[in-house]
Structure 1
């Protein structure tokens, strides 16, 4: 890529970052499409044993999205920022794995087993059932904080609450979701919801 093409790409990235800061989710998708292949190749070059490259790439983009939405993160050149986050994620995850002691009996439990996808699917169904049992306001605050990554204080005005009340609502919703999940787990899969 020539110098003028590189400058144009950086200019486009800066414009996409501005749009993302303004809440345009399509801008994030474009940044992802533009940079994910390069980030993946870079992650492969710094990869450590036991750290999945695709998980690293997903985590990197999630962290960047959260940073930008919180008013931090890159302003113009995103690629250097992405590479820095890759190094940080790989280092953090490698360090975390290094300190996990695994006994021989745990090794067989952690290894892939036939039917694991069925367990994951069943867990997902239980979680969905529990989530749908919550009042709409609790579902909204959980979705906005846990899935979209918003801080309760940033949602307060939209919910018509104080920042403190929003944090309490989010805490109660998480606790109730845990309880609803355990209740859903006690029912046969065909019933409830």
Structure 2
């Protein structure tokens, strides 16, 4: 992207500007403030202001110069009160550093602290904060991007804001050494945010009246809380453009409900495949006719065994075997100098025997004695083969035989869904399914 910009800029595009300008701007801000931590915060705020202006479509002829000017104006605004007091230009800068050291919160960039807090928050919270605080979107627009309704979005956003703020306050001064103070210290963030109960507040204030250390800590948290609203936007931008994880999270469109549903469906489909093979009521291994079961001649699966299995039905469309059984069959072919070829199935090259694809199926069990089974099948209703069954006309159906029902949102703003799948299998005629049993996948020791 060129230095000048007149179009709406994406976070990904601004990341390059951030990487190019950040070292120069930080050095410039430090020369103005003589405080590296304050300089980092000023630069972060400058980046946020410039990014927001670009994102809103305003024209900036020279982004680099505009950033420099913004940093200078912010530094003057922040340091104006300090400059009113004359100071010796030759004074040791360490003395000034010592004065800053009186407040632990001033010894680190507040934006940097908040970025670290953001990295620890749930992704869903960070996404909501980005849309609301950085991009300034209303609840009606945030909800669809998070997969929530407007009321649930408001609850989620409130929890995200309060969680972020209290976590930020806990990073300010560190826990006290006195065990008697630690209990009250842990309650200070909630008190500062107005989330403590009346009883907790009374106990805390009673302790603070008698403890100078906790009184100083509470005052530091109050100051940090006052600074926090101005830090959220800059910290979110730094999190988004300053690191790979944040950049991916906040620049990639994602519907979390949809992605979680996709993962849940995958788990259900894996279980479905296992049941279709192993279920005692309708699984393939248990529903093959007794006359369609044969055993291997010598243990390992040989070409003769598979030829006999194929010859037992008028047509076979698929062979299924555990990957270890396929490897054992390959070894037997190699011993005889045979190559069992392959066929194209769904764009993939798969091993085949006599033109019938030999599909790997890890759901076919391997016993402790290292034996397994190979399934031969003719599929399809027209060929009177094996057919899959599923229920149709389900309410809230998203895939054939699978429905997703919304169950509500709890008080923690967590939405619940019930995902159900209905399936079975039927062997239309006995010779549609055969099994080669006692397939030895490896020699016993």
Structure possessing the higher radius of gyration over alpha carbons:
2
**Structure ranking higher in strand proportion:** 2
**Structure ranking higher in helix proportion:** 1
Question: Which structure carries more relative contact order (alpha carbon 8 Å, separation 6+)?
Answer: 1
